[in-house]
């Protein structure tokens, strides 16, 4: 049976991967207690103990603003740890899947970014994620690097859950309206990852030649695009029954009106054409996925007050 190691089991995507990957083999999921990505020895020990055939790294330092004051820690987890994972994967003859971000770009382009566009991150977080990409590409192990954007889910800390909380607590919310991207549901991202991996896994095991042939960098986001304000407005409109009639007024503001420590790209749109051509798959529109995620919250309202599991 194919052994699959999922790193970051308590995160949004890692939580969903544990379920999505089960049909492909034996899934072993670890969190920071079992594999601390800030510890090179912990990475080596866990990789060699589990000896996986597929490694899916869904863990990362994601505190974008805090990374400005902790650039070393962000680089250790997002830049150096993926290098070790790739080195160990090569040593074991395993395949590596890693997630990256739209924040590797500066957002100055007017069109969606392709994989051929040169990165130019604006933040310490973006620089650390780009370093991780480059380290994996240099390590020699077959891999998929999936750049995605604006990930949210019914669990954990994310924009959707923050908006649902704040519209009940505040009278007014100022939301940036000049940054555009594709909100991507963690469950859909995990599901399409499983479908891509299924193409190289059979009852006989992992087809490394298949993965080697398609090894590379891909953009994987929801279809369509919206601003943060538009996303917040859609959340409130869709979730009106959950949050009640009295909700905070949403006020669109420019980035300059909502200063934060880390600079964000104004254009976070990613072109998914390469991914679709390689695997014959696409994610639905962002608003379709939002409706599905909010339906999960409506069916289990306890998730609104629950922390990440």
Contact 143, 98 (CB under 8 A): yes
pLDDT at 303: 67
**What would the mean pLDDT of 31-58 be, rounded to a whole number?**
95
pLDDT at 45: 95
**What would the mean pLDDT of 63-89 be, rounded to a whole number?**
97
234 inside domain: no
pLDDT at position 309 over 60: no
Full domain range(s) for residue 24: 3-157+183-223+268-284
| Paired tokens of 66 | 């805090």
Q: Is the pTM of this model over 0.85?
A: yes
**What would the mean pLDDT of 136-165 be, rounded to a whole number?**
95
**What would the mean pLDDT of 125-144 be, rounded to a whole number?**
97
Task: For the chain, give the percent of residues with pLDDT over 90.
Answer: 85
pLDDT at position 304 over 70: no
pLDDT at 308: 42
Average pLDDT of every residue of the chain: 94
Rounded to whole angstroms, the Cα distance separating 174 from 160 reads 15
- The per-residue pLDDT for range 249-289, each reduced to its tens digit, is 999 999 999 899 999 999 999 999 999 999 999 999 999 99
pLDDT at position 307 over 70: no
- The active-site residue out of 99, 113, 125, 218 is 125
**Active site includes 103?**
no
Contact 89, 76 (CB under 8 A): no
pLDDT at 305: 63
The domain total for the chain is 1
Contact 183, 290 (CB under 8 A): yes
pLDDT at 291: 94
70 inside domain: yes
Contact 133, 164 (CB under 8 A): no
pLDDT at 147: 98
Q: How confident is the model at residue 246 (pLDDT cuts 50, 70, 90)?
A: low
Buried b (16+ CB within 10 A) or exposed e, 233-260: bbbbebbeebbeeebbebebeebeeeee
Rounded to whole angstroms, the Cα distance separating 271 from 274 reads 8
User: DSSP readout, the chain?
Assistant: --EEEEE-TTSHHHHHHHHHTGGGSEEEEE-TTT--TT-HHHHHHHHHHH--SEEEE------TTGGGT-HHHHHIIIIIHHHHHHHHHHHHT-EEEEEEEGGGS-S--SSPBPTTSPP---SHHHHHHHHHHHHHHHH---EEEEEE-SEE-SSSS-HHHHHHHHHHH-SEEEEE-S-EE--EEHHHHHHHHHHHHHTTEETTEE-HHHHHHH-EEEE---BS-EEHHHHHHHHHHHTHHHH-S--PEEEEE-GGGS--SS---SB--B--HHHHHHHS----BHHHHHHHHHHHHHH-GGGGTPPP-
Rounded to whole angstroms, the Cα distance separating 5 from 2 reads 10
Token pair 């891909």 in the structure block, residue: 218
167 inside domain: no
Higher pLDDT, 308 or 53: 53
pLDDT at 49: 95
177 inside domain: no
**What would the mean pLDDT of 208-231 be, rounded to a whole number?**
96
**What would the mean pLDDT of 97-122 be, rounded to a whole number?**
98
Buried b (16+ CB within 10 A) or exposed e, 101-120: bbbbbbbeeeebbebebebe
pLDDT at 298: 84
pLDDT at position 1 over 70: yes
pLDDT at position 27 over 90: yes
16 inside domain: yes
Token pair 């980035």 in the structure block, residue: 255
CATH number at residue 117: 3.40.50.720
């Amino acid at each position: 049976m194919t052994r699959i190691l999922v790193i970051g089991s308590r995160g949004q995507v890692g939580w969903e991967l544990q379920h999505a990957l089960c049909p492909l083999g034996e899934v072993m999921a670890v969190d920071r207690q079992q594999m601390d990505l800030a510890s090179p020895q912990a990475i080596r020990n866990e990789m060699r103990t589990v000896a996986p055939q597929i490694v899916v790294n869904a863990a990362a330092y994601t505190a974008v603003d805090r990374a400005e004051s902790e650039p070393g820690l962000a680089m250790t987890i997002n830049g150096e740890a993926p290098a070790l994972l790739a080195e160990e994967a090569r040593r074991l003859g395993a395949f590596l899947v890693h997630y990256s971000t739209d924040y590797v770009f500066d957002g100055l382009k007017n069109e969606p970014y392709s994989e051929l566009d040169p990165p130019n991150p604006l933040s310490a977080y973006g620089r650390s994620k780009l370093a991780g990409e480059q380290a994996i590409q240099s390590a020699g192990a077959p891999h998929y690097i999936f750049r995605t954007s604006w990930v949210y889910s019914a669990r954990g800390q994310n924009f959707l859950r923050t908006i649902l909380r704040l519209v009940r607590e505040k009278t007014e919310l100022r939301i940036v309206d000049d940054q555009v991207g594709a909100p991507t549901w963690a469950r859909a991202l995990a599901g399409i990852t499983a479908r891509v991996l299924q193409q190289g896994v059979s009852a006989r095991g992992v087809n490394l030649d298949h993965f080697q042939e398609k090894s590379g960098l891909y953009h994987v986001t929801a279809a369509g695009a919206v601003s943060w304000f538009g996303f917040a407005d859609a959340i409130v409109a869709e979730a009106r029954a959950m949050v009640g009639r009295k909700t905070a007024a949403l006020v669109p503001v420019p980035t300059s009106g909502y200063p934060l420590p880390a600079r964000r790209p104004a254009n976070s749109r990613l072109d998914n054409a390469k991914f679709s051509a390689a695997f014959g798959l696409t994610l639905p529109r962002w608003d379709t996925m939002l409706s599905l995620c909010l339906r999960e919250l409506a069916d289990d309202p306890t998730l609104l007050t629950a922390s990440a599991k």
